[in-house]
Amino acid sequence: MAVRRFIIISILLTCFCLIAIGQRPTIEDFTMSGDTYLTEDECFRLTEENDYSSGSIWYKHAIDLKKPFSIRLSIMAGCQDEVGADGMVFAFAPQPNRLGYRGEGIGYSGLAPSIGIEIDTWLNEHLNDPMEDHLAIMVNGRIGHWNDLAGPVKIPNIEDCQRHGFYVIWSPSEQKLSVEIDGTEIISTSFDLVNKVFRGNSLVYWGMTAATGRYNNIHEVCFDRITHFSPQTEEIRRSYGLN
């Protein structure tokens, strides 16, 4: 039994290494907009601690929503808690290199058609925000919490000056989009993204936006590892305790 487990783990490790190598993008695979720049440790800083700043990065290569994938990166949502704003959005759109409105728009508001996974760190009562930092899955650049596909879901303070794992998983067989932070699933939705959002177009681009308003924070994205493989394969990986 131990020998069989060792063989399986060895095979899986080989497969995962090949996948990671074959699909790990470099910084040249991304476009930058707004105030974004590349830091010395090869992270993308979307905003500094400046008022009314915004930035985005987009992966240059389209992905197919008819196929399963998972995307892993890490985010840093700033060091200022009580006066930090406004947050970040992981987005899918049919065109790359886009940037929406600043401030409460988080660089995502106004982008349509689109799907946005909002990491919101500022309370906007008129948008029906909860007081705590929260996640929501939004559609077509609408940032008020009346039309969310899922959420808002409260999360612990993420403006802690730390990098957090951010993991997006898409399963077309279930039409399920789910999001994990630091290995824990936070939010998910089952929705026909291809037909009900992208008008039958399954090829989309993904990116990250961020913005500040009258209050600000640093917003940063790092690529510790990005992989594209099926959620079923990921379940096997986890069951054998592989990272």
Looking at the chain, the whole-number percentage of residues with pLDDT higher than 90 is 73
Spatial contact of 197 and 140, defined as CB atoms under 8 Å apart: yes
Task: For residues 92-121, give the mean pLDDT.
Answer: 93
Q: pLDDT per residue over 133-173, tens digit each?
A: 999 999 999 999 998 999 999 999 999 999 999 999 999 99
Q: pLDDT per residue over 208-240, tens digit each?
A: 999 999 999 999 999 766 665 544 454 544 454
The answer to whether residue 2 scores a pLDDT higher than 90 is no
Residue of 2, 89, 20 whose CA lies nearest to 233 = 20
Task: For residues 58-79, give the mean pLDDT.
Answer: 93
Spatial contact of 149 and 137, defined as CB atoms under 8 Å apart: yes
Looking at the chain, the whole-number percentage of residues with pLDDT higher than 70 is 81
Position 179 scores a pLDDT of: 97
Task: For residues 69-95, give the mean pLDDT.
Answer: 94
Query: Per-domain residue ranges for the chain?
Result: 1-24+231-243, 28-226
- What DSSP letter does each residue of 156-215 carry, written as one string? S---SS--EEEEEEEETTTTEEEEEETTEEEEEEE--HHHHTSTT--EEEEEEEEE-SSS
The predicted model scores a pTM of 0.84
Give the residue carrying structure tokens 């961020």. Answer: 210
Paired with 32 in beta bridges are: 57
Third-level CATH fold of 28-226 = Jelly Rolls (2.60.120)
